[in-house]
Structure 1
Amino acid sequence: MSQPYRHPALRQLMEQQTRSATRERRLEQLDRAERLLAEIEGGKVYPFEFLCYRITGYRADSSSLLTISGRDVRHDLRLYVEDLSRTVGQPVDEATEPVLTVEDVSRRYRVSTRTVNRWRRQGLVARHFRVEGRIKVGFLESSLDRFVSEHREQVDRGTRFSQLSDAERDEIIRRARRMAAVRQASLAEIARRIARKMSRSPETIRMTLKTYDREHPDRAIFPSSTGPLDTEARAQIYRKFRTGTSVEVLAKQYGRTRSSIYRVLNELRAERLLETKLEYMHNESFDDPKAAAEILAEMPVPADGKAPRKVKAPKGLPPYLASLYEVPLLSREQEAHLFRKMNFLKYKAHLRREKLDPHKAKTAELDEIDRLQDEALAVKNQIIRANLRLVVSIAKRHVGPSNNFFELVSDGNMSLIRAVEKFDYARGNKFSTYASWAIMKNFARTIPEENYRRDRFVTGHEEMFESAADGRIDEHEYEVAHRRNVEAVQGMLGRLDDRERRIMISRYGLDGTREMTLEQLGRELGITKERVRQIESRAQEKLRRIAVEERMELPMF
């Protein structure tokens, strides 16, 4: 059974102990980890330093601020025991207490081996033992007893399992058809509801319904959604995911599996990635694998070892422009290093983009391309910030009675950005020389054009028109922005639980519903007005966090 750790700390600790601890120490740590697991409470938060001490018996030299939730600790400790025991290979006859295999547990509780493996995912701690020369999964008697006592109802339900009768099967199908028509719920949700009512396992109900649908496609309760999604549906899935809707919710909305939703997201993400233009200046050193470490190294310090001298900002500049003079200028060596690094990162991203097939794109491949392009952008911004004062200096020389200084600076910044993209550092020229030429050439073209446009359309009544300017908001722009906000909020609501989502929709009149007071909602939900307010406040806080993560501006929250 392979599951990922929820937190890398315990996985790293397991790998460290595998490399450095003796076999006896690892056996001791297995027992310590299981004893600790029995004490962990899901609702608490535990410092990693405490967990490390309880498992290894050693305290770290320096305190760590890292904490892990109890639920994640329970999950990862169980994996820790399984993975560490696999490295020990303890013979089953050396165990200090009886050991049961998966088949033994299956016979004892009269459940399938599949059910036993499901119990492992739900908290039954397993170890790996050497049985007749082979490594097999086994359970200590104490571990099994602890799981059974904590999940008594679930184990009893599995023990009561027997072959479905025809009447029971018909009842399951009848209930599922009625619930699917009324609730529009997923197969998994309906299976859980029927399982509770009929004292059966959800897996039994789910397999019964899937078998029925496969044998009766014309009367299927959950017809297969294997047809291709159209372009609009795919775009909607991608847009909703980007605004916060989870893959689970999207799978339910579009009647698809989670893996198919991931395929759609990766395909569209790859297409949009390939649509983005990527330009770089190639250098022969990029093809030398030995040069990568030097290219990606930190920026070199000035040759004389001294920090760059700060330049005092000219008087009369606003704070924003004055702050540009706080960024130190780059030396020739630093400048060449940054340009080479930026273009090398773009080159590496280009190579990966050439191999990228949108229909087979994997998340890891896309993440790597995004990482390279983001790092290249960060280096580019570093170069731009170090040269922004150059734009101010040139703009001051070109400003006149008919020119706006800040418009010249804005126009010059765009010329600077284009110059960074086109500059070939390998020719040995200083970038400031190349950028100055590009900015002045742009000013020589745009300033006469602006003067000509102003003279051609002058009316003699500029002051009257300026005083009578229409300050009203463009209605179309307002509607577009409002619709965009509504889509974003609806996507974010999918990450709230059912009651939080219901309260937020009713309180703010979303999806065409009428707005309700706290008291009205309390009566409808059967809770106090104060409790409704508390849930609303909690939901708002969640939405604020989501908005910060997604960099959205939602003033209504």
Structure 2
Amino acid sequence: MHEEYRDEKIQELRDQLTRFAPKAKKVEQAALAEKLCGEIEPNRPYSFDYLCFRITNYRPEKASRHNVEAADLKHDLFLLIEDLSDSADVSVNEFTEPVHTVDDLSRLFSVSTKTISRWRDAGLVSRRLLFGGRKRVGFLHSSVEAFVANNREKIRRGERFSQLSDDEKSEMIERARQLVEGGASLSDVTRQLSEQMNRSPETIRYTLKNFDADHQQLAIFPNHRATLTDDDKRAIFKLATQGSSVTQLCKRFKRTRSSIQRILLDMRMQHVMELPLDYMYNEDFDATASVMETREQEYLAPLPEATTPSRKVRVPSGLPSYLAALYDVPLLNREQEYHLFRKMNYLKHKASRLRDSLETAGATKTAVMDQIDSIYEEAVKVKNKIVQSNLRLVVSIAKRHVASSDDFFALISDGNMSLIRAVEKFDYSRGNKFSTYASWAIMKNFARTIPSEFKHRDRFRTTTEELFLSRQDDRLDPYAEETVQRTRQRELSKILDRLDEREQKIITARFGLGRGNEPLTLKEVGEEMGVTKERIRQLEVRALMKLREAANEAKIDVELGS
């Protein structure tokens, strides 16, 4: 039984019919399904109740609103016909018309058995029947006639793929050798023999390839490369991106122009599929076309100008010039920061949606990939802008954590990686400042790496003198910031009683105040409480105002998001 049905309802119908219908009924239902196949019109849905009636002659007791698209219906009906005949255990002798095997049709039309398989995929209805006690694929003569009547051009083309006789193969090989001696390439030989012998290029190429493989001493193309490996394909793609033309690649890898172009397209597709397009989703990214047109203009607009000029920051002493230059890059204000994060995530969202559409892009696939690459490059530029504006944050945190110059530059490198990951994971829609989130991510990473780094160094010291001459670790406690954070959470918990039960639940969820809990987005909290994201935002603002008043009265210094 087939398991690759596209529609679950049709597969369920198959299960019922093959299990409970009598043998004669299954034969009748297979014939009705085949008749229905010939009446399906493309690009329209069909009611499942109607399909059920056409195949079984009865309507379901409970009406269904389920529809099946034409392409899926045709695919599943072919499977249903085979499954019904398979479960009925029908012998070919029970039919009043001739029944053909795959080999019979191959001889009848002078085509290969592979061509018959392609015809089955194209709509030639087959059944599984008993031939002398052995179950094989069979074709009713009426099914074959119906396919031929509707596919005369396909039958004509199939004749060009017919099996070659030994004399035809010998003639083809001799002609190919003469053409090669005259300087023709494989593509030239394939094209000319295809025209001279009225055979498909695939048949010519396949025959010559098999001859060379079986007769290496007499090979027509002894220098022709075997099947290209994945490394070969990656090399072709790399050379193409570095400026090599298709003609140059054809000569270097001994392949036809169409073969090289196909490889480049496949490798380009693989490259696009591997682009890191993870992003922080926002409901505002999905709306009607008219609304999104206005929003996109806003999202992709230039960076807003700072309302007040940023003041000159004093560069810490002792920094090399390339690190001191970081302090020349102006910091982002809250509005600029929000704009850049929204722009970066929207660009990745747009590129991701385009990538999902590649399977159905057809002839426009290259254009879609060009668009994805362009959008991704723009997203990377925005990301780099955010990172560059916050690199001094890494320097300031590293200076507080280490005194040795060797350790300092290692921490800078490690901290930069933490900063880049923080940019990718920051949810700008919560309204928090990125510097707070990034500082926490960088310090958490330092807390993990610094102790293990010194443990490794102590383990591999070579002499007692080095051990006693090592500098005392006078850094700040790497867990100090974590302790401060826990203190803030305890202080915030003291004033939560000023809120009602719903407000407490929102604040606790939004700031991750529970043990081991992660902060939730407005959307996630809304889903838990059964209200909209906007309603949660309004309640959160009201709750934060109450908490600020309570913190002021209790003289508790707690930083609350705005």
Alignment TM-score, normalising by the size of structure 2: 0.43
What is the TM-score when the length of structure 1 is the normalising length?
0.43
Q: Relative contact order (alpha carbons < 8 A, sep ≥ 6): 1 or 2 greater?
A: 1
